[in-house]
Amino acid sequence: MERFMEQVIFKYLRAEPEDHYFLMTEPPLNTPENREYLAEIMFESFNVPGLYIAVQAVLALAASWTSRQVGERTLTGIVIDSGDGVTHAIPVAEGYVIGSCIKHIPIAGRDITYFMQQLLREREVGIPPEQSLETAKAIKEKYCYICPDIVKEFAKYDVDPQKWIKQYTGINAVNQKKFIIDVGYERFLGPEIFFHPEFANPDFMESISDVVDEVIQSCPIDVRRPLYKNVVLSGGSTMFRDFGRRLQRDLKRVVDARLRLSEELSGGRIKPKPVEVQVITHHMQRYAVWFGGSMLASTHLCSFCWLPLAAGVLPGLSHQEGLRGVRPQYLPPQPRLWSHVLVAALTPPFQWCRGRCASVLQTRRRPAPVHSARAVVPGSPAKPSPRPASPRPPALLSSPPELRVHRSNSGGIQLRLSDLLRKTLEHGAK
């Protein structure tokens, strides 16, 4: 990790880490040890003045505000993050991930590529064996789309094949000769495994719309309607044409079927209120996490969230324990610039820490101090040793009243991202 960050900072960004704040991202349900390791590298090895570690789903929600479909800008929604290796359904309420409701879907871009490679191999279209995977990936990115009805789509290709069948031209890497293949049913059969995963994976039978519905139903009841109203797509595997439209239609059907069943079970006495389902798509959803982080890091109002480390932290504490000594205070905008470095790495939403923490950020825990027992004189009544007083959390310094500060379960201070971004928008409007 340290050598990787060294290459990124010095070779590609060509920046001095001591002069820049760094914003990094983490996947959901990341372990505290990974965050601690990243913070140790950034503070001790690169001597950065500040580190901001954010959850990717929250940044993707912020990036969705660029879409025209968004009416009210909110950080409550469910993020469908699908990349090359894995797909996650991540519910977020007011900027905080509901970790117990996250679901994993074993279907992603790589599975679509393998499935298309298998379809092309079965047709024996003359692709060089050593280039079959690269060819399948190129066809997937260039020609594939999501169809509304798979049966009607087959009929469409049979009626007018000249209109729908495309030709892909490649070059053999061995003899440098061209090869041409026809791409037909593979155009819609590849991405269809999102909605019919049994085509490629017999061990997983749930469509992505059913998984999203299960995730929302497992969330607290007071956030379910806002989650249905704000389904956000993120990642390269969600860029297929009409992906959002198909997901919205299938999810709406599942919700309406549940409402009809509820009305039937009540004998018509209860008329459920319709549930609005909306899937948000925008032009930056492929790089939604980076774009959301760039939006946040580009504003000087990030200084409202700057949390300097208290000077009196004892040595030997871990990173999470060290965050208990953090006191929030407002720092005016500083001349340093934000480095738009977004690395899939590492913490709960938006925890800040600052300073050279050579004595604080240690992965090896020191043993707890042993309190020596009081000596007892023979013949005198034994007195129990006094119980050491538990350390009291430091008092919070005065902070801007418009920001609400929360203390996380791990003892760190968390600031509401919704408040920060709301202030950012108000400042931009002025």
pLDDT of residue 352: 34
Residues 216 and 258 in one domain: yes
Region 402-430: what's the mean pLDDT?
Answer: 45
Whole-model pTM: value is 0.71
Tokens of 310: 């208290």
At 340 the pLDDT is 36
Instruction: Assess whether 303 and 274 both reside in one domain.
Output: no
Q: Do 302 and 343 sit in the same domain of this protein?
A: yes
**Do residues 230 and 77 lie in contact, with contact meaning Cβ atoms separated by under 8 Å?**
yes
What per-residue confidence (pLDDT) applies to 319? 43
Listed in sequence order, the residues at least 6 apart from 264 whose beta carbon sits closer than 8 Å to its beta carbon are none
Tell me, yes or no, whether 79 and 100 share the same domain: yes
Question: Domain range spanning residue 256?
Answer: 68-106+205-281
The rounded distance, in Å, linking the Cα atoms of 111 and 162 is: 28
Tokens 């169809």, located at residue: 147
Strand stretches in 324-398, DSSP E: 337-339, 351-354
Residues 180 and 219 grouped into a single domain: no
Residue 416 pLDDT > 70: no
Residue 150 and residue 225 share a domain = no
Are 112 and 193 spatial neighbours (Cβ–Cβ below 8 Å)? yes
Does the residue 82 lie in any domain? Answer: yes
Nearest 5°: CA angle at 246, between 244 and 249?
Answer: 105
SS3 69: coil
Q: What is the pLDDT of residue 245?
A: 94
Q: What band does 422 get if pLDDT is binned at 50, 70 and 90?
A: low
319 belongs to a structural domain: yes
Helices (H) and strands (E) in the chain, counts: 14, 14
242 and 301 inside one domain? no
Neighbours of 25 (CB within 10 A): 25
Largest interatomic CA distance in the chain: 106
**Best-predicted range by mean pLDDT (30-39, 103-112, 336-345, 411-420):** 103-112
- 356, pLDDT greater than 70: no
Q: Say yes or no: 251 and 314 in one domain.
A: no
Instruction: Identify which of 61-70, 128-137, 337-346 has the greatest average pLDDT.
Output: 128-137
Q: How confident is the model at residue 360 (pLDDT cuts 50, 70, 90)?
A: very low
Closest residue by Cα to residue 55 from 9, 20, 94: 94
- The CATH number for 163's domain is 3.90.640.10
Domain tally for the chain?
3
Rounded to whole angstroms, the Cα distance separating 330 from 420 reads 13
Mean pLDDT of 252-276: 91
Could you give the dihedral angle defined by the CA atoms of residues 261, 210, 103 and 421, in that order, rounded to the nearest 10 degrees? -90
CA pair distance 1, 314, nearest whole angstrom: 27
Query: 426 burial class (0-12, 13-18, 19+ CB within 10 angstroms)?
Result: exposed
Task: State residue 140's pLDDT score.
Answer: 94
The predicted-structure confidence for 61-106, as pLDDT tens digits, reads as follows: 988 888 777 777 788 999 999 999 899 999 999 888 999 999 999 9
